[in-house]
Amino acid sequence: MEMNTALELFQALADPTRLRIFALLRAMELSVGELAQVLGQSQPRVSRHLKIMDQAGLIARRKEGNWVFVTLGADRIVKPVLTALDSWQQESDPEMEADLTRLATVRSVRAREAEEWFEQNAAGWDTIRSLYVSEPTVEATIKILLGPEPVGRLVDIGTGTGRMIELLGPAAKSCIGVDRSPAMLRMARSKMSGSQNIQVEWRQGDLSALPLPADSMNTAIMHQVLHYAQHPGAGLAEAARVLKPGGRLLVVDFAAHDRRELREANAHAWLGFSAEQMTLWFREAGFSEPECYRLEGEIAVCLWLGWKIGTIADHSENSSKSQTH
């Protein structure tokens, strides 16, 4: 690290509020307004602190319309700082503990808003998901990407009404549909009750804490669910945990867009994802670099396919069998 970079870094950390911000962002990505709420300070004051941290590379900003979200910066700068702080701080700090308690309130508000939206829209969920790119086109591409390789044990993360299990279940050895919403699971059970050729279990759970043992699944799919997640990278890491080495993860979601109304009206936490961001999350979770397939529409839909690094499946051999429209 250059001397000037080190100097900026230590100057940026030499403030109690900025250390508190650093600890909060370690827990989750937050908007500037949420940071101000947790810290009990004005947004302009918090923004001044963030500017200093940004200049030092400690944080990164993501702007979505009138919203600005903040997360930790690049690993090469942040990881040594986290290691040092962990080694120096032997006892918990009361002020930071209080911050984390208030942060739990922010989490619960977000979760409640999303849960209420899902409960209200469970019955029309399949229609909502097909508004931007034809669902038959997306589903045909999913089948082509997964190709003739055995599906094995399939987990549908954020299963909604169970459409992905309905689509892929006949080719799977067994299926597990996981969703946080009881209303969604009731819809899925009702919808799939007559499917005799699909072995399926339904489990309530969150994508960041799947109710499954490690190394137990062969294929995982996240279909139009990741943009609701507060921490998408944690969701991919959890998918990697439950997949066997060589297992596949297919993420189907929106490409980055600027339709801000989806945040307020449909509880979207993210306005789609860039290829660069998704590739980073796949790599950090322990997957191969994903193949990305883009389907154009009112809002483009992307399909990212990656393999958990291991010896069972060879990424290049499998990817050569995949084709797209």
Which residue(s) pair with 154 in the sheet? 175, 219
SS3 of residue 307 by DSSP: strand
Euclidean distance between CA atoms 167 and 151, whole angstroms: 12
Tokens (6 digits) for 127: 């229609």
Higher pLDDT pick, 179 / 324 = 179
pLDDT mean over 309-323: 48
- pLDDT score of 216: 96
Higher pLDDT pick, 313 / 182 = 182
pLDDT mean over 10-22: 91
Euclidean distance between CA atoms 293 and 275, whole angstroms: 10
Euclidean distance between CA atoms 260 and 267, whole angstroms: 10
pLDDT above 90 for 304? yes
Burial of 10 (0-12, 13-18, 19+ CB in 10 A): exposed
Higher pLDDT pick, 151 / 299 = 151
Contact yes or no for 287/310 (Cβ under 8 A): no
| Mean pLDDT, the chain, whole residue set | 83
Q: How does residue 320 score in pLDDT terms, banded at 50, 70 and 90?
A: very low
Euclidean distance between CA atoms 142 and 263, whole angstroms: 26
Q: How does residue 315 score in pLDDT terms, banded at 50, 70 and 90?
A: very low
Q: How does residue 178 score in pLDDT terms, banded at 50, 70 and 90?
A: very high
Q: 160-174, 228-242, 252-266 — which is least confidently predicted? A: 252-266
SS3 content of the chain, % helix, strand, coil (to 5): 50, 20, 30
Residue holding tokens 């963030």?
Answer: 50
- pLDDT score of 134: 77
Burial of 292 (0-12, 13-18, 19+ CB in 10 A): middle
Q: How does residue 316 score in pLDDT terms, banded at 50, 70 and 90?
A: very low
Q: How does residue 277 score in pLDDT terms, banded at 50, 70 and 90?
A: very high
pLDDT mean over 11-32: 88
Handedness of CA 67, 269, 130, 276 (dihedral sign): positive
Percent of the chain at pLDDT > 70 equals 82
* Helices (H), ranges, the chain: 3-13, 16-27, 32-39, 43-55, 75-88, 94-121, 125-129, 135-146, 163-168, 182-192, 232-242, 261-266, 275-285, 315-319
Closest to 160 (Cα-Cα) out of 131, 191, 137: 191
Q: How does residue 80 score in pLDDT terms, banded at 50, 70 and 90?
A: confident
- pLDDT score of 223: 94
Helix 32-39 / helix 43-55 crossing angle, nearest 10 deg: 110
Euclidean distance between CA atoms 282 and 72, whole angstroms: 17
pLDDT mean over 203-220: 93
Higher pLDDT pick, 302 / 1 = 302
Tokens (6 digits) for 216: 């137990």
pLDDT mean over 59-75: 77
Give the tens place of pLDDT for each residue, 113-147.
Answer: 656 655 665 555 555 555 566 788 899 999 999 99
The model carries a pTM of 0.62
Euclidean distance between CA atoms 64 and 212, whole angstroms: 34
